[in-house]
Chain A
């Protein structure tokens, strides 16, 4: 008994996994990444055409809105897809009262709910893996900016892929994400993308991988949980 998590922690972990079970979180992270990549890649040149300027401003506005209000957007989507199908449970970050459902907030909040030593150990493990993931992502991004070499994006993407692999089970990512990052890095290198644009391509790859992962998870979820029948009035 001493080596297994308590029932309370088990219920908490099931609620945590439930938050990611429909893929909407990854889907929004993917869209945010794609919008950010778009803003970085298509900065209007001077003199800007009205159409390009408008497209860029809209993308930037959407990116800002999605970054700052991510949890609200995910909840809005869940209220229309997940809650009527499989029920509502309080989102993991509600008590932290944060607008964005970022990984650190989710992990740190969860670590405060543990009761026993074993629960604390399991949750601090999740926290450590999240911090390691963020450190690896930042390291990869920094390497891409600082080291101007053709092979840097590949190496950076492998590092990020390792981080994603370590945290895969915590955030219910499919293998698409950890295995996809080295492919993104290889594509940036093989297609000889300009080195100053490598971070933007990396963000685009990030967006595509999370979007694909979120979309496949959502499709699988919707197939497994069809919409409830509304009784005729």
Chain B
């Protein structure tokens, strides 16, 4: 195993899970979003999103706040400094592996009919 590949073993498993990766990606891009927006963007059910957000919050990556915009209550989620740094590190590791010369011209992950990419499984899986 090359050192580049070994870097894959050190990936943050809290972030690496597909549903949590989607949530982190959205929050990294937009700074803060509410529960409903995340649900629509990630295509997750309420329960599933709530569960994943709970895990990210427990890891200290996500801050969940209840607030009001006008008179409407919103559950606003945002990345903490720790979460932002962890996601940046995760992206860096993935980039190093995927752009490594030892991988030649082939892509690390070949897109195909992977079952894990089906949204139905994402909704059911945890």
A interface with B by C-beta (< 8 Å):
1, 7-12, 14-15, 18, 75-76, 78-80, 83-84, 86-90, 94-95, 113, 115
Interface of B is mostly: helix
Which single residue of chain A is at the shortest CB-CB distance from B28? A8
Q: Assess A83 versus B72: contact at CB under 8 Å? Given A1-B98, A11-B25.
A: yes
- Minimum C-beta distance from A132 to chain B (A): 26
B interface with A by C-beta (< 8 Å):
25-26, 28-41, 69-70, 72, 74, 76, 91, 98, 107
Are B29 and A88 in contact (CB-based, < 8 A)?
A: no
Which chain A residues border B37 with CB–CB below 8 Å? Answer: 18, 86-89
Are B35 and A87 in contact (CB-based, < 8 A)?
A: yes
- Closest 4 pairs (CB-CB, A-B): A87-B37, A87-B36, A11-B29, A79-B70
Are A90 and B32 in contact (CB-based, < 8 A)?
A: yes
Are A15 and B107 in contact (CB-based, < 8 A)?
A: no
- 14 A-B contacts, Cβ less than 8 Å apart? A1-B98, A8-B28, A8-B29, A12-B30, A78-B69, A79-B70, A83-B69, A86-B36, A87-B37, A87-B40, A88-B76, A89-B37, A90-B30, A90-B33
Which single residue of chain B is at the shortest CB-CB distance from A9? B29
- A-B pairs with beta carbons under 8 A, tally: 68
Q: Assess A7 versus B25: contact at CB under 8 Å? Given A84-B72, A88-B74.
A: yes
Interface of A is mostly: helix
Known: A76-B70, A115-B91. 6 other contacts (CB 8 A): A7-B25, A10-B29, A11-B25, A11-B28, A86-B37, A89-B37
Q: How far is the CA of A13 from the CA of B50 in the complex (A)?
A: 25
Q: How far is the CA of A7 from the CA of B32 in the complex (A)?
A: 16
Q: How far is the CA of A75 from the CA of B72 in the complex (A)?
A: 13
Q: How far is the CA of A112 from the CA of B28 in the complex (A)?
A: 13
Pick from A12, A88, A113: contact of B36, CB under 8 Å: A88
Are B38 and A11 in contact (CB-based, < 8 A)?
A: no
Are A87 and B38 in contact (CB-based, < 8 A)?
A: yes
Are A89 and B33 in contact (CB-based, < 8 A)?
A: yes
Which chain B residues border A88 with CB–CB below 8 Å? Answer: 33-34, 36-37, 69, 74, 76
